[in-house]
Amino acid sequence: MTLPQKRILLALALCLSAGLTVAATIEGRVVGVSDGDTVTVLDAAKVQYKVRLTGIDAPEKAQPFGQRSKRNLSSWVFGKQVQIETNKSDLYGRTLGKVVVNGIDANLEQVKAGFAWHYKKYAGEQPAADREAYSRAEAFACTQRIGLWHDAAPMPPWDWRSCRRHKPGTEGMDCGVTRR
């Protein structure tokens, strides 16, 4: 191993030991859309990645607007070549990332179309420019009553999931399962 290679290896080891993550880009074709915030990408080596879109949380499939959210995301990405900007995975083994198709942030487009919330619980993990853009897009969709914001009081998916698990404190919640 040459000295420059050793230095690169040492720098990488130091980053990893310090708990830092290394950003990566996955390129491939979207071969599946599970719901409004999860896709399956197949790369050139035929490796499949289950990708959870970061910065957003879309209605669950059985939740109001869940099917429309899935269709909207499909119209943006299904069958298309995409780049996934990622630096981590979740507890379920999914790659977490921003899906970019033809230079456009599909995650942000879901929020703009009113088919996803800006997931503020994890907003601190987003670059500041993304955090601001997603927040503005959600506020605009809400004030214009676009997509799920057409409902008077749309239930965020994190509340819906909690309600469906019958956690204490959610007994009085309406977990509605209307499909739209």
> Which of the following is catalytic: 7, 27, 29, 60?
60
Pairing of strands 95-101, 48-53: parallel
Active site residue 85: no
Query: Which residue bears the tokens 């399962």?
Result: 177
Active site residue 60: yes
> How far lies 133's CA from each of 34, 95, 112, in Å?
25, 22, 10
Query: Which residue bears the tokens 């880009």?
Result: 25
Active site residue 171: no
> Which of the following is catalytic: 7, 27, 29, 52?
52
> Which of the following is catalytic: 68, 85, 94, 138?
94
Query: Residue type for 70, please?
Result: K
Q: 76 near 103, Cβ under 8 Å?
A: no
Q: 63 near 155, Cβ under 8 Å?
A: yes
Cα gap 59→69, rounded to integer Å: 7
Active site amino acids: 52, 60, 94
